[in-house]
Amino acid sequence: MSTAETATTGTAWVGRAMRRKEDPRMITGRGSYTDNLTLPGMLYAAIVRSPEAHARITSIDTAPALEHPGVVAALTGEDMADDFAAPLPTFWSPPGVEIHTPDHWPLKRGEVKHVGDPVAVVVATDRYAVVDAAEQVVVEYDPLPVVVDPEKALEDGSPLVWEQFGTNQTHEYVLTGGDVDAALDEADVVVERRLVNQRTAGGAIEPRCSVAEMRGDSLTLYSSTQIPHIARFVLSLVLGTPEDKLRVVAPDVGGGFGSKLQVYPEEALVAALAKRLGRPVKWTETRSENMTTSHHGRDQIDYVTLAAKRDGTITGCRARLVIDLGAYQGVLTPFIPELGFPVMGGCYKIPAIELRFIGVFTNKFATDAIRGAGRPEGTYWIELMMDELAAKLGMDPLELRRKNFIRKDEFPFETALGIVYDSGDYAGALDRLLEHFDLEAFRREQAALREQGVYRGVGFSTYVEVCGLAPSRAVGPQGVGLQAAFWESAMVRVHMTGSATVFTGTSPHGQGHDTTFAQIVADKLGIDPQNVDVIHGDTDQGPWGWGTYGSRALAVGGEAVARAALKVQDKAKRICAALLEAAPEDIELADGKYRVRGSPNKAMTMAEIAGAAHIPPQELPPEIEPGLEETAFFDPENFVFPFGAHACVVEVDVETGKARVIRYLAVDDCGPAINPMLIDGQVHGGVAHAIGQALYEQVVYDENGQLVTGTFVDYALPTAAELPSFETDRTETPSPVNSLGVKGVGEAGTIGATPAVTAAVQDALRPLGVESLDMPLTPMRLWQAIQEAKA
């Protein structure tokens, strides 16, 4: 299928800035989140967690909790040893690389490895009483030495998080393309820098929640998850329950931002408790539990060397990335930093590149995917290094970028690491950005304001992203080593009256698939998107799917939807042809009707065709099966590579160190827009997330492994008051990888924005002699840097 072939034939719903179908329900308080579920006879669970970062459990006394009114059970890891058939798994094991993966049981026995490690669970009839009862459990610990700094954890003599491995290094993974030593030797200019990409949290509005219920011998888990099908598979392993006896449902999920791309101990625990007690059990995370035990992201220290000729031509790049993975491995923990490797050379022609990923255990909670997952980190360092190189060469940073951009006519472009970028026009996106931002005028204004003691700066980022997570063969066991596949599925069912229900294997949690997938189907079938219902997030409905993350839902799942709808369209054309006595190839879908080409009066609506499909008239040949329902699976041949150009203007109050974003411009290219309004929304959210990381957010542990940022009082998420009104625009470069030509956009903002914001602050403070700065650029950090530069 070519893009042109699938261009709208029905009613041109694709491309319209349609309001989200799901919003009226959401914004009038009629959403249905997991915690809204109350089942008859339901019990409530509370978890007893370790206050120690590393310790031996010497005793647990649950008896006082059992005496509390309403308590039904109080159980330790030992008590529940037989409830679990296997520990929680990790899905990355690249060929030829040894990764240390400790057993990760839902309740800990023996030792605890981070603050918040679950050691016991209490179940009671009342959600408040259970919290009081859990406080009655007496646990004695024998503290062990703690390590929280990943670089110290790699030193000889460091306390070991896991004695059994004899090292805190989880793995070392090296990727090389071209002769990097020669490239660095032959260069005229080399820049080197250590950049810290701090630990951040997902901060979803809805904390995690799980409710499990047994009916007969089947268990249903309702959970705030991004990956219901994967969760069912994992729980089947962990509980030793066959998948046909397990159903996982993701009701409305109040944001995930990657933090719900996980199968958590609590999900397994609640399921095991429902099985054991024969009653429904609910567990709802508190905000401080969310900060402590919902996975974090980023947390790496990057040592980067970039080399170039005097004229700015880049010759090579070397990066050594030290990554703090925390104490356990979640489903994708060790893989996440590597996820960005295909684009770690950015939009640039870099003939030689070496990437060395070093994973480290520390006594902190695990990191895993947080929006962008590996790609914001890679983009952050390559973009800031481009600025650094430009400064050293005395070149304009945008001119340096233009000099090294992969040109529009060079796609598909194979990078030094053997990755093939599908399509792009990097210079085009930058040109479009500069149509909205007059750089020369800004520089004049900047200089004038500095005379008055006002410090403004501008930063740019030109990024390329890899997303549309798939293709299975590249990402799977024989590719980069994930023990999984990444195709997507869809089923389209047209009902007797011509309305449709779509089942998708993706599982949105804020991305608006109910709307965009309905737009795609409406166009393919010639019906109104208001009459297309999109069902997701229930393993008992529709085919298997791999969920929503890695900005894959549209480019992989949406394409599966388009393909299933096209199969339905084909069948509709055959039915129509039989009834109108024409050849199927002469039936065209135009203006929402199935017409005989050249005879516009001979036409049928989808409602008429659907009626005939379900109650076949005599004229319909028996070889046409009844019904109007098709399924499609899609496993693309390549990733998709969206890109864009961002600019940020900040003003720094040099008395207080407070930086404020006063303009943010984003030009993104995610191929043809299904819904431009939704794309804007995704970019706004992503940029807000990145501004949060650049200026405010950081998960902080003290040297004893105590979490200092356990609430939103200490962990500073930006609010609307801290953000400017975003200025967005798009270019549209279709991808050849799918018939819709689309690429992902769900993470674009988080990927493009942190370097732009950081560079803007650096630009503002350069006249004061402030140079390299690490995120978050808090008032304290900037004020100190200004004082040090003055001294």
* Helical H segments across 506-558, by residue range: 513-525
94 preceded by a cis bond (ω within 30 of 0): no
Closest CB to ligand MCN among 671 and 705?
671
Nearer to ligand MCN, 513 or 574 (CB): 513
C-beta of 616 vs 676, nearer to ligand MCN: 676
Supply the minimum distance, in Å, between the C-beta of residue 122 and ligand MCN.
31
In the numeric block, which tokens belong to residue 536? 């997701």
CB of 355 to ligand MCN, least distance (A): 22
Beta bridge partner(s), residue 538: 249
Closest by CA to 118, choosing from 47, 173, 17, 41, is 47
526: Cα separation from own chain's centroid:
33
Taking the complex as a whole, how short is the minimal distance between the CB of residue 296 and ligand MCN, in angstroms? 14
Residues that bind ligand MCN (CB under 6 A): 255-258, 371, 508-513, 516, 548-555, 558, 670-675, 678-679, 682, 685, 742, 744-747
Q: Is 527 exposed, middle or buried (0-12, 13-18, 19+ CB in 10 A)?
A: buried
Rounded to a whole number of angstroms, the minimum distance from the CB of residue 734 to ligand MCN is 10
Which CB sits closer to ligand MCN, 424 or 672?
672
Q: Which is nearer to ligand MCN, 105 or 503 (CB)?
A: 503
Closer residue to ligand MCN (CB): 265 or 558: 558
Task: State how far the Cα of 117 lies from the Cα of 77, in Å rounded to an integer.
Answer: 11
In the complex, the smallest distance separating the C-beta of residue 634 from ligand MCN, rounded to whole angstroms, is 13
Residue with tokens 């516009």: 600
Give the three-state DSSP class for 669: strand
Smallest distance, ligand MCN to C-beta of residue 745, A: 4
Element (H, E) at 459: strand 455-464
Cβ 470 vs Cβ 550: under 8 Å:
no
Minimum separation from the CB atom of position 547 to ligand MCN (A): 9
Cα end-to-end span (Å), the chain? 65
Which CB sits closer to ligand MCN, 351 or 471?
471
Rg (CA), the chain: 27
Q: Which is nearer to ligand MCN, 136 or 511 (CB)?
A: 511
Three-state DSSP class for residue 24: helix
Looking at beta carbons only, is 291 or 679 nearer to ligand MCN? 679
Among the listed residues 571, 579, 565, the one whose alpha carbon sits nearest the alpha carbon of residue 624? 571
Instruction: Return the closest-CA partner of residue 694 out of 766, 760, 646.
Output: 760
Peptide bond preceding 102: is omega within 30 degrees of 0, i.e. cis? no
Nearest-approach distance from CB 41 to ligand MCN, in angstroms: 32
Q: Is 424 helix (H, G, I), strand (E, B) or coil?
A: coil
Least distance from ligand MCN to the Cβ atom of residue 371, Å: 4
- SS3 assignment, position 528: coil
Q: Residue 253 or residue 777: which is nearer to ligand MCN going by CB?
A: 253
Rank residues 57 and 688 by Cβ distance to ligand MCN and give the closer one: 688
Residue 540's contacts (CB-CB under 8 Å, 6 or more residues apart) are: 247, 249
CA atoms within 13 A on the CB side of 464: 28
Of 351 and 746, the one with the shorter C-beta distance to ligand MCN is 746
Q: Which residue, 171 or 375, is less far from ligand MCN as judged by CB? A: 375
To the nearest whole angstrom, how small is the minimum distance from the Cβ of residue 692 to ligand MCN? 14
The CA-atom distances, in angstroms, between 377 and each of 223, 420, 745 are 29, 21, 17
Q: Which two tokens stand for residue 236?
A: 């089947």
For residue 515, the minimal CB distance to ligand MCN (Å) is 7
SS3 240: coil
- Which run of H or E residues covers position 200? strand 189-200
Identity (one letter) of the amino acid at 772? S
Please say which residue, 529 or 685, places its beta carbon nearer to ligand MCN: 685
Q: Please enumerate in sequence order all residues whose Cβ is within 8 A of that of 738, keeping only pairs 6 or more positions apart, or say none.
A: 468, 555, 556, 559, 634, 636, 640
Q: How far apart are CA 490 and CA 633, in angstroms?
A: 7
Look at residues 753, 758, 745 and name the one whose alpha carbon lies nearest to residue 682.
745
Residue 291 is which amino acid? Answer: M
Closest to ligand MCN by CB, 23 or 67: 23
- The backbone torsions φ and ψ at residue 230, rounded to the nearest 5 degrees and listed phi first, read -65, -40
Give φ, ψ of 412 to 5 degrees. Answer: -65, 140
Measured from the CB atom, the residue of 456 and 509 that comes closer to ligand MCN is: 509
Distance (Å, whole) CA 102 – CA 116: 17
Min dist CB 253 to ligand MCN, Å, is 8
Question: Nearest 10 degrees: CA dihedral of 747, 752, 756, 757?
Answer: 10
Shortest approach of ligand MCN to residue 668 CB, angstroms? Answer: 9
Angle between helices 606-614 and 559-580 (to 10 degrees): 80
Determine phi and psi for 660, rounding to 5 degrees.
-130, 130
CB of 259 to ligand MCN, least distance (A): 8
Write the DSSP assignment of 347-382 as a string of letters: TB--S-EEEEEEEEE-SSPPB---TTTTHHHHHHHH
Residue carrying the six token digits 């003939």: 351
Measured from the CB of residue 275, what is the shortest distance to ligand MCN in angstroms?
Answer: 30
**Nearest to ligand MCN of 387, 747 (CB atom):** 747
Is 374 or 685 the residue whose CB approaches ligand MCN more closely? 685
- Smallest gap from Cβ 639 to ligand MCN, in A, equals 12
The nearest distance, CB 505 to ligand MCN, in angstroms, is 12
The two beta strands, 455-464 and 218-223, are unpaired
Closest distance of CB 497 from ligand MCN, Å: 26
Helices 375-393 and 748-765 pack at an angle, to 10 degrees, of 30
* DSSP reduced 3-state for 426: helix
**How many Å apart are CA 277 and CA 270, to the nearest integer?**
10
